[in-house]
Amino acid sequence: MEPQTDYDRSKPRIRVVMFPKDTNAMGSIFGGVILSHIDLAAAQEARDVSPQIFVTKIFREVNFVAPVGVGDTLSCYAKVTRRGKTSVTIKVLAEAQRALSRKFVTVTEAEVVMVAVNENGEPVEIQHQ
């Protein structure tokens, strides 16, 4: 997977250094931890669409192409690709900067569908700004 260039690299939605508590038995960061950061990045992007409550509906095409290690910095970049009546589709690029070499490596790119909901968890129309 080649690094994507159409994300605003000056504005990461999430940037975090990975620690040993997030590793699996092989010493790399759990995929679920990375998915959690992707989910948070998508939620932050959805908040820019509208200051409403959004929940994750769908994760699409998550294909891990490189591991993330302890000490690496994980950055997630996001962009809206579709705005619907009650949902917004967001692409998220997860990229790791290696701790020692400082080299950037694409980890995965995912599509996340977020749905606006009311206080009862029912879908509501997005108030586009």
What pLDDT shows up at residue 8?
Answer: 73
Q: Work out the average pLDDT over 91-120.
A: 96
User: What fold, for 14-117?
Assistant: Thiol Ester Dehydrase; Chain A (3.10.129)
Q: How confident is the model at residue 7 (pLDDT cuts 50, 70, 90)?
A: confident
What is the SS3 assignment for 76? strand
Q: What pLDDT score does 6 carry?
A: 80
Whole-number average pLDDT of the chain: 92
Name the residue among 15, 3, 11, 5 with its Cα closest to residue 75: 15
Helix (H, G, I), strand (E, B) or coil at 5: coil
Cα separation of 33 and 60, whole Å?
17
Instruction: Judge contact between 54 and 46, C-beta under 8 A.
Output: yes
- pLDDT, tens digit, for every residue of 28-55? 999 999 999 999 999 999 999 999 999 9
Separation of alpha carbons 110 and 121, rounded Å: 24
The answer to whether the CB of 116 falls within 8 A of the CB of 87 is yes
Per-residue pLDDT at 4: 58
Q: Reply yes or no on whether the pLDDT at 3 is more than 80.
A: no
Tokens 């994507």 identify what position?
A: 4
pLDDT of residue 90: 97
Q: Looking at residue 129, what is its pLDDT?
A: 65
Confidence of residue 126 (pLDDT cuts 50, 70, 90): very high
